[in-house]
């Protein structure tokens, strides 16, 4: 089955307003999220694996793929559908080897040099970010902007997902730069109703995918 | 080949006094270190893998096994000889599965309950610590003391390695509690001469192993 990158939720427990992460993700999935990435940067491995397994169990019946940020060990332990890595995480070629050739592999790209290199690494899609300046990742690099997304689209044949301060207001503009999807953190994790927020954003994604 | 736990170096880059970690470990191995565990808690995965590969390449000709703390992904990527986990790290049974049944698996035990449970987990050895109160791990649990090591020895048939403020002065006392080896951090990483410090400590380990 061809993966649907349309509305891609990247988790951040700190942004869930004290709610259980699995509940927040479940609500967002009811609203239309098509893919989930579990990102945990300061979590003990045992807790990370337990959380990943709970998410995987919840997502499985919905056929929504679960990707794990950075940690191939956690991905393998929970039976995730893939791994997403950044430029300081495990090298994509090493990830492929450890995953036994199976699963989705995503890579974050912050420069055109990253984009050009990515085409040679056998990754499945690129996370292009940050689209806008973002507070979720305070140490982020120079934002791409809408023009930057367009340049990446023209330079690269891989599926592209825009990430970085994508929200209900700008999702259509981001999609119109030729993106295959948008990755969203706080606009879903911190929404009063993650389900309604996801439904609203997914409608925008679908509208651009159908009508441009 | 039966692993030799005699003088087991656990790395801490922050304690290497600005020296390159691989150089420090190489010197300690010349002095008699029999096993090395790479422990990195705040390191990007790509850097962790690169460091692990450098260490593995240096240790291989000496036939000194390299274990990786916590990170099975890093262990698999660098071809390490095993993994060491604590009680908050990946569960030993999950580690075994991911390692494909190969390699050494060590587990840290802080209580007698951990020791009793460990016998059912298929681990190869236990790290019993802290022996003494230690500044290397400020959040450590109640020290075992020499009496505690003795109680673990009597309760458990697995190879045991005492860890936590083991140094040249107390190494013989620790070994005499029936330990198969001692794990050392700062007494080697921060030594003026890691080679001489290792030689001195290894002589004490050997003396107790031969003469009691």
Q: Which two tokens stand for residue B25?
A: 């470990």
Cα(B164)–Cα(B1) distance, integer angstroms: 27
Cα(A118)–Cα(A108) distance, integer angstroms: 9
A39 in catalytic set: yes
The whole-number mean pLDDT for each consecutive block of 10 residues of chain A, a chain of 212 residues, reads: 94 97 98 98 95 98 98 98 98 96 95 97 97 76 96 98 97 98 97 98 98 90
> Does the distance separating the beta carbons of A70 and B77 come in below 8 Å?
no
Q: Which two tokens stand for residue A102?
A: 């199976």
Confidence tier at B53 by pLDDT (50, 70, 90): very high
Cα(B205)–Cα(B197) distance, integer angstroms: 12
Confirm whether B74 is domain-assigned: yes
Confirm whether A2 is domain-assigned: no
Q: What is the DSSP string of B5-17?
A: -SEEEE--GGGST
Cα(B79)–Cα(B53) distance, integer angstroms: 8
Cα(B74)–Cα(A99) distance, integer angstroms: 13
- Pick the residue of B90, B103, B114, B139 with the most A CBs within 10 A to test the interface with A by mutation: B90
Our CA angle for B85, B15, B39, nearest 5°, is: 20
Chain B residues within an 8 Å CB radius of A45:
70-71, 85, 88-90
Cα(A180)–Cα(A126) distance, integer angstroms: 10
CB pairs under 8 A between A and B: 57
Cα(B83)–Cα(B37) distance, integer angstroms: 8
Confirm whether B22 is domain-assigned: yes
Chain B residues within an 8 Å CB radius of A121:
none
Helix axes B21-31, B45-59, angle to 10 degrees: 30
Give the CATH number of the domain where residue B24 resides: 3.20.20.70
Confirm whether A200 is domain-assigned: yes
Nearest to A63 by CA among A81, A78, A49: A81
Confirm whether B198 is domain-assigned: no
Chain A residue at shortest CA distance from B88: A46
> Does the distance separating the beta carbons of B49 and A91 come in below 8 Å?
yes
Task: Please tell me if residue A89 touches chain B, with a CB cutoff of 8 Å.
Answer: yes
Tokens 């007698």 label which residue? B112
Chain A residues within an 8 Å CB radius of B73:
71-73, 76, 90, 98
> Does the distance separating the beta carbons of B88 and A44 come in below 8 Å?
yes
Cα(A190)–Cα(B50) distance, integer angstroms: 37
Calculate what percentage of chain B has a pLDDT beyond 90.
Answer: 92
Q: Which contacts qualify for A77-84: CB closer than 8 Å, 24 or more apart?
A: A77/A49, A77/A52, A77/A53, A77/B90, A77/B94, A77/B97, A77/B98, A78/A49, A78/A52, A78/A53, A80/A38, A80/A52, A80/A56, A82/A106, A82/A124, A84/A37, A84/A39, A84/A108, A84/A127
Indicate the helix (H) or strand (E) that contains A160. strand A160-163
Nearest to A44 among B76, B89, B94 (CB): B89
Chain A residues within an 8 Å CB radius of B83:
none
Confirm whether A1 is domain-assigned: no
Cα–Cα distances (Å) from B113 to B3, B116, B117, B119, B156, in that order, read 26, 5, 6, 10, 11
Calculate what percentage of chain B has a pLDDT beyond 70.
Answer: 98
Chain B residue at shortest CA distance from A73: B73
Nearest to A173 by CA among A154, A192, A201, A196: A201
Give the up-direction half-sphere exposure of residue A112: CA atoms within 13 A in the CB hemisphere. Answer: 9
Task: Please tell me if residue B117 touches chain A, with a CB cutoff of 8 Å.
Answer: no
Cβ–Cβ under 8 Å, residues B125 and B146: no
Cα(A166)–Cα(A162) distance, integer angstroms: 8
Confirm whether B53 is domain-assigned: yes
Mean pLDDT of B131-154: 88
Count of domains observed in chain B:
1
Cβ–Cβ under 8 Å, residues A6 and A180: yes
> Does the distance separating the beta carbons of A97 and B44 come in below 8 Å?
no
> Does the distance separating the beta carbons of B89 and A46 come in below 8 Å?
yes
Q: Which residues, at least 6 apart from A54, have a Cβ–Cβ distance to it below 8 Å?
A: A22
* DSSP 3-state of A140: coil
Nearest to B160 by CA among B174, B140, B139, B145: B174
Q: Which contacts qualify for B183-187: CB closer than 8 Å, 24 or more apart?
A: B183/B8, B183/B9, B183/B10, B183/B37, B183/B127, B183/B129, B184/B7, B184/B8, B184/B9, B184/B10, B185/B9, B185/B10, B185/B11, B185/B12, B185/B15, B185/B136, B186/B12, B186/B15, B186/B135, B186/B136
Confidence tier at B137 by pLDDT (50, 70, 90): low
> Does the distance separating the beta carbons of A98 and B46 come in below 8 Å?
no
> Does the distance separating the beta carbons of B90 and A45 come in below 8 Å?
yes
Say what the pLDDT of residue A101 is: 81
Nearest to A73 among B46, B88, B90 (CB): B90
A102 in catalytic set: no
Indicate the helix (H) or strand (E) that contains A163. strand A160-163
Chain B residues within an 8 Å CB radius of A94:
49, 77
Higher pLDDT pick, B133 / B117? B117
Give the distance, in angstroms, between the CA of residue B155 and the centroid of all CA atoms in the same chain: 21
Q: Which domain range does residue A152 map to?
A: 7-211
């Amino acid at each position: 089955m061809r993966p649907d990158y349309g509305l891609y939720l990247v988790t951040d427990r700190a942004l869930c307003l004290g709610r259980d992460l699995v509940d927040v993700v479940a609500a967002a999935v009811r609203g239309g999220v098509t893919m989930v990435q579990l990102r945990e940067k300061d979590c003990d491995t045992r807790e990370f694996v337990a959380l990943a397994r709970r998410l995987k169990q919840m997502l499985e019946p919905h056929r929504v793929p679960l990707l794990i940020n950075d940690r191939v060990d956690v991905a393998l332990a929970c039976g995730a559908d893939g791994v997403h890595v950044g430029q300081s995480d495990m090298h994509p070629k090493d990830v492929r080897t450890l995953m036994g050739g199976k699963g989705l592999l995503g890579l974050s790209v912050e420069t055109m040099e990253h984009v050009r290199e990515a085409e040679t690494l056998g990754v499945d899609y690129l996370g292009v970010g940050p689209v806008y300046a973002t507070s979720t990742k305070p140490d982020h690099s120079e934002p791409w902007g809408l023009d930057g997304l367009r340049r990446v689209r023209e330079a690269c044949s891989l599926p592209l997902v825009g990430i970085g301060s994508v929200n209900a207001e700008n999702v259509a503009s981001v999609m119109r730069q030729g993106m295959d999807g948008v990755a969203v953190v706080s606009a879903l994790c911190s929404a009063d109703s993650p389900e309604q927020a996801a439904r609203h954003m997914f409608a925008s994604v679908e509208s651009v995918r159908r009508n441009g």
